[in-house]
Structure 1
Amino acid sequence: MDKNIIKRMQYIEASAIETHLFYTNLIGANKASIESLFAMKKLSFMEISVYGHDLDSFRNITGRGEEQYRRLIDNLAILESLYPLKSPDLNIVIGIRTYRSFQFGKNPNNGLLEKIEILRKAGVKVGLSCQIDNWGGDITQSDIADIEMDLSDGKNLYRKGPCGLPFDSIQITATGKVNACACRDPRGTLMLGDISNSPLADILSSKNEKWMKIISDHESGHFNEVCSSCGFYRSIYDERRVTNDGFMTKQDFFNLI
């Protein structure tokens, strides 16, 4: 967990960057951090990932205990109390990942679902899924053998050309490491460089052999272990892969850098 995330986001707020998004499980938040999020003018989207629909399912899916579960409920309550202060331009989504058998009832039967229902009525969008991503092959079927959920595996996806993520979803970690993929490389196998040692402009450059090798390997149909099992693959040539500025081709990205 990045304990300086609010400071980093406030840096973005004061920069030339026009908009940013935030994904969180909310467990590590508190009233001050939620107030800071709601005070941000450029924050346009926030998704809260909730694992499980009650204490037992939360424990089974996350491996965490009751303390973290209660903290999540408390932070949802804070979010509810501060909700009127948020910018109308900030869209909030709660994504629930839980058992296949779970269905929303008319009357929520625990504190977690009660808070989610209150937020839904206030305008927060709520999604429900029973799928667990394989996180680039790190999660296997045996890991979820006792959990009533489905494993999402991208090994059977049709792939043609470089994935768009190394172009538009670069990850810069809290320690300054630059990863070619912000979505599904938990072990950092796609590391491109370190901003402590090199300017970001040099790392995200056609002169960076590590970055160019990932792209050229993809272009020739050679996907490494992480990329070949990832369910997030979107071809750079797929025009459905749209950014805020519209569709960008591979050459558009190279021209930009």
Structure 2
Amino acid sequence: MTETTPALDASSRAARPLPEAVLWDMDGTLVDTEPYWQESQVRLVAEHGGTWSREDGDSLIGSGLWHSAKVLQDHGVALDGQAIIDYMTDDVLRDIRSHLPWRPGARELLRELRDAGVKTALVTMSFRRMAEEIADAIEFDAFDLVVAGDMVEHAKPHPEAYLVAAERLGVDITRCVAIEDSPTGAAAAVASGAVTIAVEHHAPLPADGGFLRRDTLTGVTLDDLREILESGRELAALPEGEE
């Protein structure tokens, strides 16, 4: 069999259609803020006479803030849900204003997408005021849209946030790529119908979650997303049990 030359292979990859949009999770995917959330949880529970373990914090990665507030109440925090959310959001905002840790490769890929005219959305369970502050910290106009946890009824792993993003962008969710890091977030993206890339970070990902696993976004390009979109759609179209 004749081998394809690198030039022809690159041309073939570039000929694949662009994603209609790329939908980004925030905490743990775009920015490494999960340690800030966990430090805030430790402080809050301690102020109310309790203890909070690393395992407790890991169990909330990717969850909606209302769910997190309920768990914190179960650990003795004697505040209403909104007060807990405000406490943690203010805490984490103070931390990110001091140092905002970007995930490797994320801004570079975003820049390439924007230069190519690909639509993008930030889809997060953090509240809007935090999401918009982080989006505004990027040195270019990175997102067409923000869908945050206080803008939807159902938190991840429900697919609502991703479906809302696609609807507002006017795109077909099955022609979109979603980028996530947590089991909860990846489940939401997969359930929405988006072709999903999951980059494992703080929380272990399941071996078979219907997503494409990547170790890092470093070096991932728009051409890679074209290929991932097509391979993901082809995999989704297979009869159940075939790969």
Q: Given the two structures, how large is their TM-score scaled by the length of structure 1?
A: 0.27
Specify which structure has the higher proportion of helix.
2
Higher relative contact order (CA 8 A, sep 6+): 2
Specify which structure has the higher proportion of strand.
1
Q: Which has the larger radius of gyration?
A: 1
